[in-house]
């Protein structure tokens, strides 16, 4: 499909990674509003035209940076913020949520890791930038839903499906509603900054949600 020589393709791929790494780092350092194509180009050591040839906007660059991050392709140290096991927010390369058999403990671990990640400026600022773009751009939102959201959503559904099969959730539970019942409150508190986003809050949300989704007596 390409007429590039192997060496040229390798150089392109190296430039692409340098650009995406620079975009992610800079968004975390200065925030999305101040992010410019010029600054990304300077940090990545490429010309501005190289970036404009591959991406139409800084939002598109940042989206691809998150995609690379979600695929575990960012260099060591970038986007490596979550220490907790079972993390399932952005930056996770795990293929599944933890399943110890203790649904409440598993979900609390995952949601606490999400809270920790959202409190980390390396994620907080780029994620606010990406979210802002998604909010205003329906096309980017569709791309986000398909490429970034859906794989993680399916991991969450899979864990809840196993719990439902084990009789820990009501057989009629809608898995997407169940996921939203836990992640929605965390996301909304993070975005709107209406109250502190704490581990205790995450725990309370998981406890109330699981009671609400439990098999009917």
Q: How far apart are the first and last CA of the chain?
A: 60
Residue whose token pair is 């979550």? 82
Q: Whose Cβ is closer to a copy of itself: residue 26's or residue 44's?
A: 26
User: Please, which residues have CB within 8 angstroms of residue 140's CB and are 6 or more apart in sequence?
Assistant: 59, 60, 63, 133, 134
Rule CB under 8 A: is residue 138 a binding residue for a copy of itself? yes
Rule CB under 8 A: is residue 37 a binding residue for a copy of itself? no
Smallest distance, Å, CB 138 to a copy of itself? Answer: 7
Gap between the Cα atoms of 150 and 11, Å rounded = 31
Rule CB under 8 A: is residue 141 a binding residue for a copy of itself? yes
Gap between the Cα atoms of 112 and 197, Å rounded = 10
Give, as one character, the DSSP assignment of residue 25.
Answer: H
Q: Whose Cβ is closer to a copy of itself: residue 13's or residue 176's?
A: 176
Q: Whose Cβ is closer to a copy of itself: residue 95's or residue 195's?
A: 195
Size of the site for a copy of itself (CB under 8 A): 47
Closest by CA to 72, choosing from 22, 12, 133, 17, is 17
Rule CB under 8 A: is residue 54 a binding residue for a copy of itself? no
In the complex, the residues that contact a copy of itself under the rule CB under 8 A are 31-33, 128, 131-132, 134-136, 138, 141-142, 144-145, 149, 153, 173-174, 176-178, 180-181, 183-189, 191-195, 201, 204-205, 207-214, 217
């Amino acid at each position: 499909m390409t007429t590039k020589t192997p060496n040229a393709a390798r150089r392109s791929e190296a430039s692409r990674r340098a650009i995406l790494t620079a975009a992610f780092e800079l968004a975390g350092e200065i925030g999305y509003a101040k992010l410019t194509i010029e600054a990304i180009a300077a940090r990545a050591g490429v010309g501005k035209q190289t970036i404009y040839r591959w991406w139409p906007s800084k939002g598109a660059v940042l989206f691809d940076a998150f995609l690379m991050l979600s695929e575990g392709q960012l260099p060591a140290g970038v986007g490596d913020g979550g220490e907790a096991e079972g993390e399932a927010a952005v930056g996770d390369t795990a293929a599944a949520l933890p399943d110890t058999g203790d649904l409440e403990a598993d979900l609390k671990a995952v949601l606490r890791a999400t809270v920790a990640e959202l409190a980390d400026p390396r994620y907080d600022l780029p994620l606010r930038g990406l979210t802002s773009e998604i909010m205003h751009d329906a096309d980017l939102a569709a791309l986000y839903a398909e490429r970034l959201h859906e794989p993680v959503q399916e991991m969450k559904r899979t864990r809840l499906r196993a719990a439902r099969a084990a009789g820990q959730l009501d057989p009629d539970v809608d898995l997407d509603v169940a996921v939203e019942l836990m992640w929605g409150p965390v996301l909304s508190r993070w975005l709107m900054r209406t109250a502190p986003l704490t581990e205790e809050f995450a725990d309370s949300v998981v406890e109330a949600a699981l009671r609400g989704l439990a098999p009917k007596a």
